[in-house]
Structure 1
Amino acid sequence: YGRTPIEILQRAGLLDNESGLLIAHGTGIVDRDLPVLAAASGPVAVATAPRGYLKFAWGPTPVRALREIGVPVGLATDGAASNNSLDVWESMALTSLVQKSTEGDPRWLTSRQALHHATLQSARAVGLGERIGCLAPGRRADIVLVDLSGP
Structure 2
Amino acid sequence: MGLRVRRWMEKVHSGLSNGIGSTEASLRLLIARTIEWYGILLRERKQEPAYIVKEFVDAHFRQPGLSYKTVSGHLGLAERSMRNQFKSEFNISIWAYCISLRVQTAHELMKANGLLAGEVFDLVGYSDESSLRYHMRKFRL
Q: TM-score scaled by structure 2? A: 0.30
Q: TM-score scaled by structure 1? A: 0.29
